[in-house]
Amino acid sequence: MRPLLVGALLVTAACGGGAPPGAGTLAIRDPWARSADSGTVTAVYLVVTNGESGPATYTGASSPAAESVSLHETMAMNGMVHMMALDTAQVIAPGDSLVLREGGKHLMVNGLRRRLVAGDTLPVTVRFADGRALEVRVPVRSAY
């Protein structure tokens, strides 16, 4: 899948000429969210790829369609599945990715202000320590 360079307006100054698309940039790939009812919670999965020459630090996310968004990790302990809130700052080394996927890290979206059904998009803003923000339109998939 092609990386979504939705934050391009904010990062164009950092792009080197002649680099392949997606290289030399901070990009979000493969976003999706689970369908959910209004007033409930849902999870967003995506990959933040750091193609830049320096580290990038994820500091948080938000959505105008939700009360709050936090970074969680799902872990199995003693045969039970738990979710833990992670320290919000996540350093992504150059060439590395922050991977949010089912059964692992995810964005927990709390207090949905509207129902999300398959085919909708959920707007999410992902923020970094240097002040940059990547806007993502996250496609909604059926929960089951």
Q: Which residues of 25-37 are buried (b: 16+ CB within 10 A; e: fewer)?
A: bbbbbbbebbbbe
Token pair recorded at residue 27: 């990009």
Of 102 and 130, nearer to Cu ion (C-beta) is 102
| Per-residue tokens: 75 | 């872990």
Give the binding range for Cu ion (CB under 5 A) out of 59-67, 79-87, 91-99, 122-130.
79-87
Q: How many CB atoms lie within 10 A of CB 10?
A: 15
Instruction: Kindly write out the interface string for residues 11-50 of this chain, putting x where it contacts Cu ion by CB under 5 A and - elsewhere.
Output: ----------------------------------------
Least distance to Cu ion from the beta carbon of 41, Å?
7
In the block, tokens 């580290």 appear at: 55
Interface residues with Cu ion (CB under 5 A)?
72, 83, 108
